[in-house]
Chain A
Amino acid sequence: MNEAIVDVNVYLSRWPFRRVSADEPTAIADKLRSQGVVQAWAGSLDSLLHRDLGSVNERLAAECRAAGEGFLLPFGAVNLRLPDWEEDLRRCHEEFGMPGIRLHPNYHGYKLDDPLAAKLLSQAAEHGLIVQLAVTMEDERTQHPLVQVPHVDAAPLVELVKRTPKLRLVLLNAFRALRPELRGQLVAAGQVYFEIASLEGVGGVEKLFGQIPGERILFGSYAPLFYFESALLKLQESQLGQVQLEAIRKGNAKWLLAAI
């Protein structure tokens, strides 16, 4: 199974509630390489609760560089609830040369029907940035009682995506919260992609290929918060052809990245 993989859902730094194996940049890079990953798209867990996102994004960019050219790709954070968020977006794009940004609307306290969300998505699209949006970070049933964060309501994205045709949107950890019919609406609305870290049910990947176009499905592990092997074994569990496997392992992600 150690064939080349692009993992679009990786985090650096530390989960506030638990230390996990490989939550140091070198350790996660080593782990991913050992499993056949040739590139990983990384956000920072610091971005969930830290307010100094300039520092978070700078650190993320530096840690990704240190992992070796092009192995970890930094996806910086922008928080619409912070003053002058536009400057964070500019720095991600111009100073750090990031290929995209990663949003956490639930941890940052805004809804996607907020007019500023439309403005952010539009600006990111104009800059040619891929936008990753984490729908869920943790099962709502297991969260810390003092930090209960609801899933992102993704329904407003259907209209936002339609109004922003240049937007390339990757939904992370989407399957626990997103109704199946909404997946189809989002895919029909524009360039919306899904990754498999939170996909559950037997044969989940093969069933997903029957629900949305195969070119919209990406490999994501949510490592190191999830065991990387969970996502990898999903490719074994599902009956997939070589073309489908190649697309999900890396072809779709490479195509998405090349379109910048």
Chain B
Amino acid sequence: MKLKIWDLHCHLSGVTGRTPDERMAQLMAYVDRMGIDRICLYMGWPFSYNPSPERLREENDQVLAALTHWHDRAFGFCYVSAEHVEASLREMDRCIANGPMVGVKLWVAKRASAAELDPIIHRAAELKAVIFQHTWFKTDGGNYPGESTPFDLVELARRHPKTPMICGHTGGTWELGVRAVRSVPTISIDLAGSDPTSGLTEMAVRELGPERVIYGSDAGGRSFASQLGKVFGANIPDEAKRLILSENLHRLMRPILDAKGIRA
């Protein structure tokens, strides 16, 4: 029986096209080839590391446009930044409260430990939106000034102990990332966007339990194949694969999907 696959982490990059529609059509052709049922999409193009309020709106508009013909296959996350809290809150009202999006994406503009994130997290919790924070531990010292490590996310999660959050990329250096978030049960991890290094998924399942591990790809910069390989190739029970490939994400999304009346 085919496993249901939901991909937590996709972008409109890595494919060509002048419009969101054109890019989305290309992306979905690969999604179909890989048997992926639904994807989560965030940020537009080109990527902006510290977006202005105007740029946040533009990128969210690109994602909204991309979703237009794909509401049955794709979910949108609202790109927000703690550098521009009021603008981010407005975007959340526009795209989530009054729009089709179901989550927020926090990238590298400001570290997750900063107090400025608190109003964004409060509002996301009110909306039942899924919260995704990019994180990396970079050995080579290459973190951007506002780029979070999993430790930053742990600080944020401890300030909001009832709000689930997702640790993007498992911190990249996953042997550190898994350990960093292990003691905070409200944090799940995203498998996306690192090399398909053997052992990642096994360690995550062993240390966190299969319920806290979520498949994502970081396509189109990454290939769906390399990231799915982390799950299909892992030496873990089939039941854990089922949870990782869709059910854990579905569980995190269920409150907002129910609130919006979205059946998925």
Contacts and interface: CB of A to CB of B under 8 A. Distances in A.
Tell whether A and B belong to one assembly: yes
B86 to A, nearest CB: 34
Nearest to B140: A140
Contact of A202 (B15, B173, B175, B233): B15
B225 A226 contact: no
A142 interface: yes
Contacts of A95: none
Most chain A CB within 10 A, of B34, B142, B199, B202, is at B199
B244 to A, nearest CB: 13
A142 B173 contact: yes
B138 A141 contact: yes
B225 A142 contact: no
Interface residues of A, number: 36
Given A142-B172, A202-B30, A230 B139 contact: no
B139 A201 contact: no
Helix, strand, loop or mixed for chain A's interface?
loop
B14 interface: yes
Given A226-B196, A227-B196, A148 B233 contact: no
Interface stretch (B89-97, B125-133, B160-168, B216-224): B216-224
Interface in A216-242: 223-234, 236-237, 239
B229 interface: yes
A208 B219 CA distance: 17
A13 to B, nearest CB: 14
Interface in B202-234: 202, 219-230, 232-234
Interface residues of B, number: 40
Given A140-B140, A145-B139, A148-B139, A200 B198 contact: no
A180 to B, nearest CB: 14
B233 A227 contact: yes
A12 B180 CA distance: 31
A200 B138 contact: no
Contacts of A201: 14, 220-223
B138 to A, nearest CB: 4
B228 A229 contact: yes
Given A20-B198, A141-B172, A236-B33, A200 B223 contact: yes
A214 to B, nearest CB: 19
- 4 tightest A-B contacts by CB? A230-B229, A227-B233, A233-B225, A229-B233
6 contacts: A143-B140, A200-B222, A201-B14, A233-B226, A233-B232, A237-B34
Interface of A: 18-22, 138-145, 148, 198-204, 223-234, 236-237, 239
Given A148-B140, A201-B222, 19 more contacts: A141-B136, A141-B173, A142-B194, A201-B14, A201-B223, A202-B15, A202-B27, A202-B219, A202-B223, A203-B30, A223-B198, A224-B198, A225-B197, A226-B196, A227-B230, A233-B224, A236-B33, A237-B224, A239-B33
